[in-house]
Amino acid sequence: MKSPGPRRRAGRLAPVPPTYLDDILAAHRARAGADRRDLAALLDAAVASPLPRDFAAALGREAGVGAAVIAEVKRRSPAKGPLDLDLDPAAVARAYEAGGAACLSVLTDAAFFSGSPADLAAARAACTVPVLRKDFTVGEADVCDARLMGADAVLLIVAALSDGELTALCTLARELELAALVEVHDEDELARALDAGAEMVGVNQRDLVTFAVDPGRAVRLAGSIPPECVGVAESGIRHVDDVRRLADAGYQGVLVGESLVRAPDRQGAVRALTGQRIGARRASPETGAPDAAAGTGRSRA
């Protein structure tokens, strides 16, 4: 598959400066290009592997119900450096689940995040909730690998993929009964995600160029997410007030990483974020999108 080329911004195709994402994607695409495994054999093995847990169902909540917390197992980040390089993924998973996490997210990228497929396997074996493979998916083999390592969902970053890639990977994830969390940063990327058939949309509040967090981004985009899609807010979520604000905007789930990994009491930190009631998705004055009540997502993405 071809690289998506220059990323789109503000409804037009425009070049942007190199970012941390460019380096990460270059490494992942180089690895994918060197992968000589037979895709048909990978697909057969993936289909024969144990069925995934239903990630989308764990998040597809009605308005008025408490927003789901997706708690992340993360050893380090390119921006913040080491968080807990020696963490025990199984112990962290048990603590998160005991605190009320609806799902887990586990980093499997080694070079930039110090994660691994072994981290995902250990975390999933230690809990009963669905698990997202948090990585940079660039090809069909990556989706197959997610199912083979025991993941229940994959991350598809719109800014990292062409329209053709995005559609193909959404389709393959659905065929393999994996949920796909399709990550966007603006209205244009949201439109591309929906055109590709996304049923679960994650709004990342971290800017790909500056790596700064815009805490208002998810709220601004909330009203543009169709009611049949599950909405997830990502990045910059630290306190219960953050979750309350995002749940009130209509997000059924929040993905929280750094603050939970750094917490002395991870179980208590998750518990403190749970129970915030989901409101209606409302248009912001900036988007002009029509009001939409938050609804349940379809069973698979």
Q: What ranges do the domains of the chain cover?
A: 58-273
Which candidate in 74, 97, 140, 165 is catalytic? 74
Which candidate in 97, 183, 189, 199 is catalytic? 183
Check residue 289 and give its pLDDT.
45
Mean pLDDT of the region 121-125:
98
CATH class of 58-273: alpha beta
Mean pLDDT of the region 242-246:
97
Mean pLDDT of the region 176-183:
98
Active-site residue flag, 80: no
| Average pLDDT score over the chain | 88
pLDDT at 19 over 90: no
In Å, how far are 56, 251, 279 from 103, measured between CA atoms?
10, 15, 20
pTM score above 0.75: yes
Residue 153: which pLDDT band, with cuts at 50, 70 and 90? very high
Measured CA to CA, the distance from residue 113 to residue 108 in angstroms comes to: 8
Contact between residue 273 and residue 68 where contact means Cβ atoms under 8 Å apart: no
Residue 58: which pLDDT band, with cuts at 50, 70 and 90? very high
Which candidate in 114, 234, 284, 299 is catalytic? 234
Which candidate in 134, 140, 199, 224 is catalytic? 134
Measured CA to CA, the distance from residue 143 to residue 111 in angstroms comes to: 19
210 exposed, middle or buried (CB, 10 Å; 0-12, 13-18, 19+)?
exposed
- Amino acid (one-letter) located at 265: D
Q: Which of 8-22, 112-126, 137-151, 247-261 has the lowest mean pLDDT?
A: 8-22
Q: Which of 139-148, 265-274, 292-301 has the lowest mean pLDDT?
A: 292-301
